[in-house]
Structure 1
Amino acid sequence: MTLTPAERRELERRVASRKGRADEARRARCILLLAAGATWVEIRAQLACSDPYIARWTGRFARERLAGLYSRHRGQPATVLTPRLEARLLEATRRGPPDGSTHWSTRRLGKHVGVSHMMVARVWARHGLAPHRLERYMASNDPDFERKAADVLGLYLHPPQHAAVFCVDEKTAIQALDRLDPVLPLSPGRAERHGFEYQRHGTLSLYAAFNTRSGEVLGKTVARHTSAEFVAFLAEVVAHQPKGQELHVILDNLSAHKTRQVEAFLAEHPHVHLHFTPTYASWLNQVELWFGKIERDLIARGIFTSVPDLARKLRRYIRQYNKAPRPVKWRYADPRRRITFTSRVTVH
């Protein structure tokens, strides 16, 4: 590489300057070393740089001389997130993509607005927005929702002092599925894998009574879930309590919970009181949270060789759970705050 006297003086000045930028001095040294006949290996050793670094700056100098080292446009300036830009991102997120897609990704919205996808991600995180997620709900159409919900919430928040409160329900049609292919276990970089083929051995139902004070669960597996099985389970719950203790049972509006058999049982046990959740509001029943837990922990990925095997594993899970039960920290307290058919969702 050949340098003019003026170019050499300028490059040497950059190298010797104590006030200049270190990266500019490094580029100048690279060109001076090449002009002095140094090899790329020697330059890499002296400047602690890479071959692409040498190629980039020697190529620019060969094409543009000194201007290629110092006068080239250094890229687009960083975009500053102003309140106005943040409001624009939030408004675009709320409106959705103009092409009819259901939701934005960070990269698509960033390209649409003209900012980086990381800026979009920061704004979404700051406001708790996750457009890729979808949750489903069911709005209760019960005209007596507030009264029924207040009755249930009162038992959670202010339970009777000398009474027991149980949330009762049944998880029906639990399938005993056996995988036909071997399970490939968890390994570094690989999740546990199950084959698609399975054998269905049958189903059963699980009755559960969740003690709201202690978090303990009384469970029973049954082949059917008729009113007779429900009454028999209620009798077992009563038998586990001190004789004559007042018992409040929270349950949903299943027809099997409102038969003549149930009425006869209540007449024989006047200390047992049933409290029904509003229609389409079974989420007010704490046992549903426990059903979700056993579904995640055991049922969803479990392998069951028969219905008795399924029943045995369900009972074992309940025994292990009851060694360290956890009551629910209930937070929903205002029955007037609910989703209705006329509710409108506002994004802030």
Structure 2
Amino acid sequence: MPAPSARQITMTAAERRRLKQIAHSHTAPHQLVIRARIVLDAAHGHSNNAIAQRHQVSVDTVRLWRGRYDSRNGPASLRDRRRSGRPRQFTPIQIAEVKALACQLPAESGAPLSRWSSSELAREVVTRGLAVAISASSVRRILAEDTLKPWQHQSWIFIRDPAFSVKAARVLELYARHWDGTALGDDEYVISADEKTSIQARCRCHPTLPPGRSRMMRVNHDYDRGGALAYLAAYDVHHARVFGRTSAKTGIVPFMDLVEQVMTQQPYASARRVFWITDNGSSHRGKAAADRLTARFPNAILVHTPVHASWLNQVEIYFSIVQRKVVTPNDFTSLDQVEDRLIAFERRYNETARPFRWKFTPADLEDLMARIERHEQKERNLQQHDHCEHQPAVLAPAA
């Protein structure tokens, strides 16, 4: 009986291009790379024996993937098919109980923990008798089904400023070059200002080693403290220009020195209006700070962000860049070196800076306030419901 001939494979240019990407990939699974190469060789008309010898696999392996390749599904047909595997060790009820436990705070269970880990959850499951035995890896697999990660946490804060929406809208309006519904002119500017406090000079006890082959930069853990200073910066929102200075401490005088540094040079000195956006720090808080600024520079207008909303101040983005590129890792022999590095980076930044792509718009603010209102209304309804449930029943008098 004659031997069956090898299956002929034809493919389009697009299919061939996708398979070549997999065949030359350095990140795809090795098995998938070999299978893609087998199919490509088969499409070129090579025999099974030649392909097997070329890729150091068995002829049966070549025959399997040559026959399984489906042009309609493309590379997906080269992946392993689903297998039944061994039966589940845990019932659906046990799985639901593990997930419910992970969604509780440890304090509610009496556990002296700040947050759950997989091993602690496995221990609690056994302690409660939800399962005879369970491993931490099994807990992780169960939680992964619903993307539950109780070992992670995210901080948040309530909006405490009663005029949050009004103040935030004014700041967003300035970012869009509008004020009181009127477009800003070419001779009007928006400045975002704040202080980055307590930048320390940590002199490492051993020199920092540069990165090398298969080795990252190494910074000694031990250090001597060389004091700390504050970095005050004013950022021109629409022209991406930074003005900075250092000070031994923050306060009204250092902040006004920064204002004078900016307002005494062009184009701000002769500008029609210069809007200064600041948070509610003690150096520039309240109406007194606004009056003090206007008295010193009549064309300057102080605009405050809402309380606990410094994220609306664009200079904070610049400070985050400074933290990543200048201050971390902290290895300075003196405060003078810190100051020199900050000022030098400021000049370097201004050479290529572009305005930040601010994406939080007044429409996003409206959506945020609407979500908060819905959440607060839901909380009020729940409180009213609980209050009614705890009220004693009152019988109506008989007619």
- Partner of 1:119 in structure 2? 141
TM-score scaled by structure 2? 0.56
Distance 1:81 1:213, change over 3 A: farther
What SS is found at the alignment partner of 1:204? strand
1:161 aligns with 2:184: yes
Counterpart selection for 2:246 from 206, 216, 221: 221
Distance 1:75 1:136, change over 3 A: closer
Contact 1:286–1:328 at 8 Å: present in 2 too? no
Counterpart selection for 1:177 from 202, 225, 245: 202
Task: Trace 1:181-330 onto structure 2 (pairs within 5 A).
Answer: 181-187=206-212, 191-238=216-263, 239-242=265-268, 243-258=270-285, 263-326=291-354, 327-330=356-359
TM-align CA RMSD: 3.8
Q: CA deviation at 1:321?
A: 1.9
Distance 1:240 1:197, change over 3 A: farther
What letter is aligned with 1:331?
A: F
| Partner Cα separation in structure 2 for residue 254 and residue 214 of structure 1 | 25
Distance 1:116 1:215, change over 3 A: farther
Q: CA deviation at 1:266?
A: 0.9
Contact 1:249–1:275 at 8 Å: present in 2 too? yes
Q: Structure 1: give runs of 5+ residues left out of the alignment.
A: 1-46, 48-73
| Partner Cα separation in structure 1 for residue 145 and residue 352 of structure 2 | 40
Q: CA deviation at 1:87?
A: 6.7
Q: CA deviation at 1:107?
A: 6.4
Distance 1:152 1:174, change over 3 A: same
- Partner of 1:29 in structure 2? none
In percent, how many aligned pairs have the same letter? 28
Distance 1:267 1:142, change over 3 A: same
Contact 2:209–2:218 at 8 Å: present in 1 too? yes
What SS is found at the alignment partner of 1:178? strand
TM-score scaled by structure 1? 0.63
| Partner Cα separation in structure 1 for residue 276 and residue 91 of structure 2 | 54
Contact 1:106–1:120 at 8 Å: present in 2 too? no
| Partner Cα separation in structure 1 for residue 324 and residue 370 of structure 2 | 29
Task: Trace 1:97-108 onto structure 2 (pairs within 5 A).
Answer: 100=111, 101-105=113-117
| Structure showing greater Rg | 1
Q: CA deviation at 1:274?
A: 0.8
Distance 1:260 1:147, change over 3 A: closer
What SS is found at the alignment partner of 1:218? strand
| Partner Cα separation in structure 2 for residue 278 and residue 144 of structure 1 | 7
Distance 1:317 1:200, change over 3 A: same
What letter is aligned with 2:267?
A: Q
- Per-residue deviation, residues 106-141 of structure 1 (Å, max 9, x unmatched): 56668958794563464354xxx5432223234342
Q: CA deviation at 1:184?
A: 3.9
What SS is found at the alignment partner of 1:294? helix
Q: CA deviation at 1:255?
A: 2.8
